[in-house]
């Protein structure tokens, strides 16, 4: 009886030690991954992935997908993502959706993309929720369904996803599946702009220039177009130049001062 108790205690501490070593090796592998020391990270992660650790499996999938320390191999990435996804890893499910959506290593398949994005979205992945909204809005993998698009955009936007906030603003501005509502459009564009969303700057600029739901302000529109242009929106520069033809020298000077304050701190802009 005493021997049995000793064996039970010994087994317990052996398992506890093994679990601790397992967790430590995973943490080291993850840290090395984010330190961009991919070869060393792989030495820690691969044995854990083979033993069934889904975070290790997911990160190895990323290494193959992005070419982090390994040659880019989308099929190998898909293999590891699916192994992790089978164990419930939501970001792995999202990544599988990306492979099918963008046709990485295999033909574009919107039906498969929609399936995997939905699985990730159902687990609360806000980026997948936003992409689902986009697919329902544009009819990829499903007939166009604005109600579904609004649902998924809304879920993602309420979690703070800046692209979903911008997309939701667009739906309200142009009445996609619901009446045009400029106040709601402004609200969501402003939320996205507060997070640095260049397309939201551009959309707000249009609303200020045209007075949609807000008083016309060429000064604010000018600054917003410039912010959007700096963020990579080509039409931002084009619309800024067109707007300048309608502005007085005083307005241009004021816009220049406002831009200076905005570049110091966006919250100073008061858009």
pLDDT at 269 (0 to 100): 81
Contact 120, 91 (CB under 8 A): yes
Q: What is the 3-state secondary structure (H, E, C) of 186-217?
A: HHHHHHHHHCCCHHHHHHHHHHHHHCCCCCCC
Share of the chain above pLDDT 90, in %: 86
Residue 11, pLDDT > 50, answer no
Query: How far apart, in whole angstroms, are the C-alpha atoms of residue 94 and residue 127?
Result: 8
- Estimate the share of the chain in helix, then strand, then coil, as percent rounded to the nearest 5: 75, 0, 25
- Non-local (6+) Cβ contacts of 188 within 8 A are 157, 165, 166, 168, 169, 172
Per-residue pLDDT tens over the stretch 207-254: 999 999 999 999 999 999 999 999 999 999 999 999 999 999 999 999
Query: How far apart, in whole angstroms, are the C-alpha atoms of residue 33 and residue 43?
Result: 11
Which of 7-16, 230-239, 253-262 has the highest average model confidence (pLDDT)?
230-239
- Non-local (6+) Cβ contacts of 229 within 8 A are 236, 237, 240
Query: How far apart, in whole angstroms, are the C-alpha atoms of residue 109 and residue 71?
Result: 24
Share of the chain above pLDDT 70, in %: 92
pLDDT at 14 (0 to 100): 42
Per-residue pLDDT tens over the stretch 126-154: 999 999 999 999 999 999 999 999 999 99
Q: What does pLDDT average to over the chain?
A: 92
Total-model pTM: 0.87
Per-residue pLDDT tens over the stretch 168-208: 999 999 999 999 999 999 999 999 999 999 999 999 999 99
pLDDT at 266 (0 to 100): 78
């Amino acid at each position: 009886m005493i021997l049995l108790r000793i064996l039970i205690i010994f087994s317990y501490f052996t398992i506890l030690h093994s679990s601790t070593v397992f967790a430590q090796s995973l943490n080291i592998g993850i840290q090395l991954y984010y330190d961009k020391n991919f070869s060393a990270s792989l030495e820690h992660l691969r044995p854990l992935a083979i033993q069934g650790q889904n975070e290790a499996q997911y990160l190895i999938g990323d290494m193959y997908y992005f070419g982090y320390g390994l040659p880019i191999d989308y099929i190998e990435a898909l293999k590891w993502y699916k192994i992790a996804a089978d164990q419930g890893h939501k970001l792995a499910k999202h990544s599988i959706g990306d492979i099918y959506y963008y046709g990485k290593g295999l033909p574009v398949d919107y039906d498969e993309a929609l399936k995997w994005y939905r699985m990730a979205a159902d687990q609360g992945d806000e980026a997948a929720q936003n992409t689902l909204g986009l697919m329902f809005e544009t009819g990829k993998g499903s007939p166009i369904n604005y109600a579904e698009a609004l649902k998924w955009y809304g879920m993602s936007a309420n979690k703070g996803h800046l692209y979903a906030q911008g997309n939701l603003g667009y739906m309200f501005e142009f009445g996609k599946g619901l009446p045009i509502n400029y106040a709601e459009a402004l609200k969501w564009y402003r939320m996205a702009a507060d997070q640095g969303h260049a397309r939201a700057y551009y959309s707000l600029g249009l609303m200020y220039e045209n007075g949609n739901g807000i008083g016309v302000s060429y000064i604010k529109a000018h600054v917003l177009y410039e912010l959007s242009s700096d963020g990579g929106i080509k039409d931002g520069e084009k619309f800024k130049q067109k707007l300048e033809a309608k502005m007085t020298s005083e307005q241009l000077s004021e816009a220049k001062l406002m831009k200076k304050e905005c570049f110091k701190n966006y919250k100073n802009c008061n858009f």
